Amino acid sequence: VLAIASRSGMMQMGSERDHIITGFNLRDKQDLGRKAGEVAVSLLDAKLAKGGAGRAVLDPELAGVFTHEAVGHASEGDLVREGASVLAGRIGERIGCEGLVIVDDPSLQEFGFIPVDAEGVAVQRTEVIRDGILSSYLHNRETLAAVGNGIPGHARAELGAPPIVRMSNTFIENGDATYDEILSECKDGILLIGSRGGQVDPGRGVFQFNAEYGYLVRGGETTDMVRDVSLSGEILSTLHNITLLGNDRKMSPGYCGKGGQSVPVSDGAPHLLLEIRTVKDGRIGSSSTGDPDRWKECLNAALASGRIATPQQWGGFPKPADMTGTASSSDPDLVVAVENAARMVGDLLSGAAEHPVEVIGGAADLARSYLAVANTSGVFYGMDRTVAAVSLETIREQSTGYEFDASPFLADIDARSVGEQAASLAARSLSGRDIETGRYDIVLSPVAAASILGQVLLPAISGRNVKAGRSFLAEKIGEQVFDEHLSIYDDPFAPGLGSTTWDAEGVPTRRLIFVEQGVLQRFAYDLKTGYRYGEGSTGSAVRSGSEGPGIGFHNLFVDGPRMKEPGDERAVWIHDVVGAHTANPFSGDFSVEISNPFWMEGGEQTEPIRTAMFAGNVFEMLREIGGFGKDTRRVGRLTIPSIRLNNQQIIGK
């Protein structure tokens, strides 16, 4: 149940939920609605929470979310195998407080119940942490063979999707403290209730979760209600800093998304008391807010998260510097107005009307913003940015088509053409024929190529992954790693969505060549990774949403000598792929569903092909490229042509 209350332009929400796995009668349905409404109304008068470090009591719902997101995902065998988990290599180590037991139990009669996993293995209870010691990972058959330390039975999948390692019912076992004893021990702190999402990085071992609301605790009693409160820190230090475990475990239902699949799960815990400790310098913290008037609270939250972060080498923030280039990411002629967006929608529909299809959905977006970065070393840079974007999805019987475009410049967007192309894909894909399993020459469109390379190749160039041993390209600088015609470079001064003269940390940007004629030249670094490994920043820090700065790219180009069409011989042309996010960025292995494929002959698309699978290894296929097309296209911050690849594996009929 979701309830909304509003007053004088302010809106607040309250939510309650319940679940059973059999039958149709939920308990106290009216009571759920009443509680949600009371919370929403009360939040209108709640105080803003202040950032800082101290004692916190987590209610069972928020503690359960922490258990699932921060510990459960980090214990999944596929992440451990890929080196993307802070728990990798820690079996037998004490990683939490004494008495802490964390379990995943698919056989438990809760929302994540399954009697047998997706590989036919009978499920059973797995203790991930026993008495504070990491004792097991969660596995399917494949990851158990590769990693060990556990039992199978944790393979789950949506209908038609491949099984992957998943949680089911994940929870912290009860301790022996009562709720009143926990509040009394807390003395002065905060009680956090419910969850409104958040984020976690299992590889770095950091998290940030938003509570629905909270209460200040004074003298062991709850007092004022507070809103807009979150909890952030490191997974391992938080597990160690649990000082009391309650005896009132409660489970909450939900759905877990991983690998493009969503499955029902539940998570839970008793009330927990956390002791957040302040420490010395050399630690980096970050925070965010959508309200500029709350900058002080945002600053305090950043300082608090820094106090519990891992210390590392830090050479200071950058100082003001002269910029060597010019950014081009703002259009003075772009006017953010409803009528302009409506005109673009009309053009989308006009283009789609050229083919006998139905429109499923679409969008036109116009935005103007001002981006600034400042630090205590005197840096204060700012720039205007604009974005125009359109997209449309169409269908004809069982065939669908999707197209999009985005640019800082309104004149770059041809909404009518985007609509026509989306409709053309759906219309031309109708009645596709099966393709036999085998090896074929293929042509990846810029969209398909960007999807695959973006998930595997770009992480391999990140200095953080290289230094952590999670990149196939580690220790290969100066070597011929790809086809001699392939070059990859980042040009922050080229017009585009990522055009900038400074990065998210205030470091001046410059043109960076990562691969030149197939030879690996360098990796990308931000300040944190550069200081840690003595490499220096390459001006490659990016930041989005509420996340802190990390290594990324501004305007990345995949380039090579062009031909009119990437080969005249018969080939399979692939417009897009589904499931690229499941690719292994360390090994380069991938298996994706191809979308809107056609036979290509003499440079022309001919007969449609029924959907099939495309599998291979990114690093191997880039060693021998059959050609680059002239149809260069921007896909987000990546500019890339179509790419011909010879002798690739297609799994069809």
Q: Comparing 191-205, 293-307, 397-411, 543-557, which segment has the lowest mean pLDDT?
A: 293-307
Which of 58-72, 579-593, 617-631 has the least mean pLDDT? 579-593
Residues 189 and 274: their CA atoms lie apart, in Å, by 10
pLDDT tens column, 460-477: 999 988 988 888 999 999
Q: What is the pLDDT of residue 136?
A: 95
Quick one: pLDDT at residue 172? Answer: 97
- CA 558/CA 486 separation, integer angstroms: 7
DSSP code, position 72: I
Q: Tens of pLDDT along 419-428? A: 999 999 999 9
Question: Which amino acid, one-letter code, is at 533?
Answer: Y
Kindly state the DSSP code that residue 293 receives in the 8-state scheme: G
Residue 193: name the closest of 219, 158, 168, 217 by CA. Answer: 217
The answer on pLDDT for 295 being more than 90 is no
**Residues 465 and 471 sit within 8 Å (Cβ to Cβ):** yes
pLDDT in tens, 536-546: 999 999 987 55
Residue 232: predicted pLDDT: 80
pLDDT at 587 over 90: no
Question: Is the confidence at residue 276, as pLDDT, over 50?
Answer: no
What confidence score (pLDDT) does residue 187 get? 87
pLDDT band at 307 (very low <50, low <70, confident <90, very high): low
Alpha carbon distance 294, 229 (integer Å): 12
In terms of C-beta distances under 8 Å and separation of at least 24 residues, what long-range contacts does 627-632 make, across chains too? 627/563, 627/566, 627/567, 628/485, 628/559, 628/560, 628/561, 628/562, 628/563, 628/566, 629/443, 629/562, 629/563, 629/565, 629/566, 630/562, 630/563, 630/564, 630/565, 631/445, 631/446, 632/446
Contact between 239 and 226 under an 8 Å Cβ cutoff? The reply is no
Please return the burial class of 603, using the count of CB atoms within 10 Å of its CB with bins 0-12, 13-18 and 19+.
middle
CATH code 3.30.2290.10 region(s) in the chain: 338-428
From 257-261, 315-319, 450-454, 595-599, the region with the lowest mean pLDDT: 257-261
pLDDT at res. 279: 29
Residue 141 — φ and ψ, nearest 5°? Answer: -65, -40
- The contacts of residue 29 (CB under 8 Å, 6+ apart) are none
Residue 373: other Cβ atoms inside 10 A: 20
Distances (CA, A) of 177 to 103, 181, 189, 652: 19, 6, 18, 58
Residues 103-129: what's their mean pLDDT? Answer: 94
Report yes or no: 462 and 524 within 8 Å, Cβ to Cβ: yes
Q: What is the pLDDT of residue 567?
A: 56
For the chain, the farthest-separated pair of C-alpha atoms sits apart, in whole angstroms, at: 80
Distance, in Å, from the CA atom of 238 to the CA atom of 276, rounded to the nearest integer, reads 8
pLDDT at residue 278, rounded to an integer? 31
Write down the pLDDT at residue 147. Answer: 92
Q: What's residue 7's pLDDT? A: 85
The pLDDT value given to residue 277: 34
pLDDT confidence of residue 34: 84
Q: Render pLDDT for 69-83 as a digit per residue (tens, 0 to 9).
A: 999 999 999 999 988
Q: What is the pLDDT of residues 479-516, one digit of tens each?
A: 999 999 999 999 999 999 999 999 999 999 999 999 99
Residues of the chain with pLDDT > 70, as a percent, come to 92
Torsion, Cα of 498, 500, 504, 505 (10° steps): 150
pLDDT band at 280 (very low <50, low <70, confident <90, very high): very low
Q: Residue 566 — very low, low, confident or very high, per pLDDT cuts 50/70/90?
A: low
Is the pLDDT at 27 greater than 60, yes or no? Answer: no
CA distance 503 to 509: 6
Distance CA 14, CA 5 (A): 8
Q: What tokens appear for 520 in the block?
A: 């690996």
Q: At what angle do helices 415-428 and 338-352 cross, to 10 degrees?
A: 30
Torsion of CA 183, 186, 187, 189, to 10 degrees: -110
Model confidence at 167: pLDDT above 70: yes
What kind of architecture, by CATH, is found in domain 338-428? 2-Layer Sandwich (3.30)
Write down the mean pLDDT value for the chain: 88
* Cα gap 623→479, rounded to integer Å: 12
